[in-house]
Structure 1
Amino acid sequence: MTTVTSSEFDRGIALAPDGSTGGHRGELGAGWQIGGGVNGGLLLAVAANAIRQELPEHPDPVSITGHYQATSHPGPVTARAEVIRRGRSLSTATATLSQPDEQGRPVEKLRVLASFTDLAGLAGEVRTSAQPPALPPREQCVGMEHAPRELIAQAALLERFELRLDPATVGWAVGAPSMNGRIQGWFRLADGREPDPLSLLLVADALPPVTYDLGLPGWAPTVELTVQLRAEPAPGWLRVSHATRNLAGGYFEEDCEIWDEAGRLVAQSRQLARVPRG
């Protein structure tokens, strides 16, 4: 698998060994912020990159779950990965991301448990009743250049993406949310980097929170995020759909489907997040 070092995403998840067992160091960039912290999907990709470096025979997550313990900020980050089991077709590993506090003491921000495989070696058979979201052509969708200023101000990472959102799901941008709890559209990285398994972890948390479509704008911090990858994505645009069916007790779930240019469902995710505070 070729790493495109000129890509903002690849630089954003880059890690170097720190000399300890399973230890790696990196730098979280300010360009990946949303609300009060660094995007949860980007953080999951950083942790997955640490695991990948410990599992060269199984480079791809097939299922990865992250529990977010504290807000991550731009600056140095330490990733520590541990292989729990190496199998012939599937391996299990854990990882943590930590950042120093004001006194220089490490504070754990994210803990991950994941199963890794080689997606290129999976069987090609597909049996599914799932259907990709019905989206208008990209030229008929709404680009982020039309997004409300307050959204762009709190989501620097949107400048890293090229999003074309379904007009039926962006009424919230003009004060008329549909109240259906769905946001969907076309996605690709702004610098043209083609999708791969690690970038799908970012895509799973890339669209504006579905709470916008419920009339609840603002930052929605992720508590837990699980992403399941089904295949290597084909080059080109991705179709992404985020939806929620239940908001209760100050939390909501957000389900995501990611479809590639070939019309295949390449990733699914569910996250639990906090409802934005007014």
Structure 2
Amino acid sequence: MTQIEGALERATAVEETGDGRYRVQLDPDWSVVGMLNGGYLNLPMARAAAYASPHPHVVAITTDYLSAPAAGEAEVRVDTLKTGKTVAYHRTTLVQNDVVTLSSSVITSRLSDEPADTYAREVPLPLVRPEDCRRVPVEIPGGLEYGLMRHVDLRMTPESEAAMTQSDGSLAVSGWVRAADGSPTDPYLALLAVDALPPVTRTIGRWGWAPTVQLSTYLRAVPAPGWLRAYMHGDFVSDGWFDEECTVYDENGQLVAQSRQLARVPR
């Protein structure tokens, strides 16, 4: 199976319609309780910027979610602010029915696909093997539908399942991520993975859609084939707001993505 045959590629593909203008069909399947997933919405923004850039990869993207776009046709507009030999800077907006719903700052460059010497302040603990973790279903407690899971094979660790079930207050979840249809693991899947896990507010008994307000992601390397392992934690839940940080590693233990987001607590 080639990358273009995968569901993720089809659901986030952009078609150039003019100078810096790209058409996208937002797929309703990539949703959480009926609302399009914030990580999914980042992908057409990133693809359009990479398409417009002389550099092949997105290395950083910060998106402000101004309003929730609906499934269906939308337009991504790309303004390239500066282009250098190794880095280019872009401003992208997602427009639907003449309304700007998302606005992103995107940096493009070239990611390495070779293992790099890395110094880390802290190395996360290994996870239980994915075959020993249960896949997150489409139907979740309370009669809610996690449509994203039709296309994402997400295996939460037993510890994370227990944390959510028991509302242990840990504000931490972790698990394994891959494309459900066997599509190759690539930087775009890593970009999705930072927002694929259930929100950490489930560990304090708050279920439902947690609207992302701002999401910043750094892509650090081209992932090796296979599973991605993702670690999510929050620091504070206060006055209806919470934060999350996520780090994503490939099967070789290479850091491939890291993110931080601000979101609203589910009602």
**Gap change, CA 1:231 and 1:125, over 3 Å in 2:** same
In the TM superposition, structure 1's runs of 4+ consecutive aligned residues that sit over 4 Å from their partners are none
**Gap change, CA 1:3 and 1:81, over 3 Å in 2:** farther
2:37 is the counterpart of 1:39: yes
**Distance (whole Å) between structure 2 residues aligned to residue 186 and residue 124 of structure 1:** 22
Contact kept in structure 2, 1:170 and 1:177, CA below 8 Å: no
2:118 is the counterpart of 1:126: yes
Contact kept in structure 1, 2:20 and 2:78, CA below 8 Å: yes
What corresponds to 1:16 in structure 2? 15
What corresponds to 2:52 in structure 1? 54
What corresponds to 1:154 in structure 2? 145
Contact kept in structure 2, 1:165 and 1:186, CA below 8 Å: yes
**Distance (whole Å) between structure 1 residues aligned to residue 138 and residue 4 of structure 2:** 30
CA RMSD of superposed structures (Å): 2.0
Contact kept in structure 2, 1:3 and 1:10, CA below 8 Å: no
Using the TM superposition, give the Cα deviation of residue 123 of structure 1 relative to its aligned residue in structure 2, in angstroms.
9.1
**Gap change, CA 1:115 and 1:38, over 3 Å in 2:** same
**Distance (whole Å) between structure 2 residues aligned to residue 156 and residue 166 of structure 1:** 20
Using the TM superposition, give the Cα deviation of residue 35 of structure 1 relative to its aligned residue in structure 2, in angstroms.
2.6
Using the TM superposition, give the Cα deviation of residue 72 of structure 1 relative to its aligned residue in structure 2, in angstroms.
1.4
**Gap change, CA 1:167 and 1:122, over 3 Å in 2:** closer
What corresponds to 2:254 in structure 1? 264
**Gap change, CA 1:214 and 1:222, over 3 Å in 2:** same
1:267 counterpart SS class? strand
**Distance (whole Å) between structure 2 residues aligned to residue 201 and residue 116 of structure 1:** 14
**Distance (whole Å) between structure 2 residues aligned to residue 111 and residue 218 of structure 1:** 24
What corresponds to 1:103 in structure 2? none
Q: Which amino acid aligns with 1:126?
A: T
Contact kept in structure 2, 1:133 and 1:239, CA below 8 Å: no
Q: Deviations over 1:164-209 (max 9, x none)?
A: 1111111255x41221011101111101112211221111111111
**How many pairs were matched up?**
267
Using the TM superposition, give the Cα deviation of residue 17 of structure 1 relative to its aligned residue in structure 2, in angstroms.
1.1
Q: Which amino acid aligns with 2:111?
A: L
What corresponds to 1:95 in structure 2? 92
- Please give the TM-score of this superposition, normalised by the length of structure 1: 0.90
**Distance (whole Å) between structure 2 residues aligned to residue 131 and residue 192 of structure 1:** 28
Using the TM superposition, give the Cα deviation of residue 49 of structure 1 relative to its aligned residue in structure 2, in angstroms.
0.6
**Distance (whole Å) between structure 2 residues aligned to residue 145 and residue 60 of structure 1:** 32
**Gap change, CA 1:120 and 1:160, over 3 Å in 2:** same
Q: Which amino acid aligns with 2:147?
A: A
- Please give the TM-score of this superposition, normalised by the length of structure 2: 0.94
Q: Which amino acid aligns with 1:169?
A: S
Contact kept in structure 2, 1:170 and 1:213, CA below 8 Å: no
**Gap change, CA 1:93 and 1:122, over 3 Å in 2:** farther
Q: Which amino acid aligns with 2:117?
A: E
Gaps of 5+ in 2: none
